[in-house]
Chain A
Amino acid sequence: MNAYEKVNAARAKNRPTGSDYIANIFQDFIEMHGDRRFGDDKAVITGIARLGNQPVTVIALEKGRDIKEKVYRNFGSAHPEGYRKALRQMKLAEKFGRPVVCFVDTAGAYCGIAAEERGQGQAIAENLMEMMTLKVPIISILIGEGGSGGALALAVADEVWMLENAVYSVISPEGCASILWKDSRKVKEASECLKLTADDLYRMKVIERIIGEHGRGFHLTCAELKRLLSQKLAENLRLSAEELVSNRYLRFRKFGSA
Chain B
Amino acid sequence: MILRKEFFRRPKNELERSSRIYKVPSPDVPGEMCVLCPSCKKPLLTGELNANANVCPECGYYFRMNARQRIHFIADENTFIELNSNLLSKNPLNFPNYPEKIKHARLESAEKEAVVTGTAEIGGFPCALFVMEARFMMGSMGTVVGEKITRIFEYATEHSLPVVGYIVSGGARMQEGILSLMQMAKTSGAVKRHSDAGNLYIAVLTDPTTGGVTASFGMEADIILAEPNALIGFAGPRVIEQTMRQKLPAGFQRAEFLLEKGFVDMISERKEQKKQITTLLSLHKEVSG
Contact = CB atoms under 8 A, between A and B. Distances in A.
- Determine if chain A interacts with chain B: yes
B172 A148 contact: yes
B214 A125 contact: yes
Contacts of B287: none
A153 B234 CA distance: 13
B146 to A, nearest CB: 6
A116 B253 contact: yes
B215 A129 contact: no
Given A111-B234, A121-B219, A256-B142, A195 B188 contact: no
A12 interface: no
Given A193-B95, A256-B144, A111 B178 contact: no
Interface string A81-121: 00000000000000000000000000001011101111111
Given A170-B178, A176-B174, A124 B215 contact: yes
A256 B179 contact: yes
A114 B178 CA distance: 27
B91 to A, nearest CB: 11
B193 interface: yes
B96 A252 contact: no
A129 B253 CA distance: 23
B192 interface: yes
Nearest to A207: B178
Interface string B192-231: 1101100000000000000110111111100000000000
Given A121-B215, A121-B218, 4 more contacts: A128-B185, A129-B189, A129-B192, A195-B177
Interface of B: 92-93, 95-96, 142-144, 146-147, 150, 172, 174, 176-186, 188-189, 191-193, 195-196, 211-212, 214-220, 233-235, 239-240, 243-244, 248-249, 252-253, 261-263
Interface of A: 109, 111-113, 115-122, 124-126, 128-130, 132-133, 148-149, 152-153, 156, 168-171, 176, 179-180, 193-196, 201, 204, 206, 248-249, 252-253, 255-257
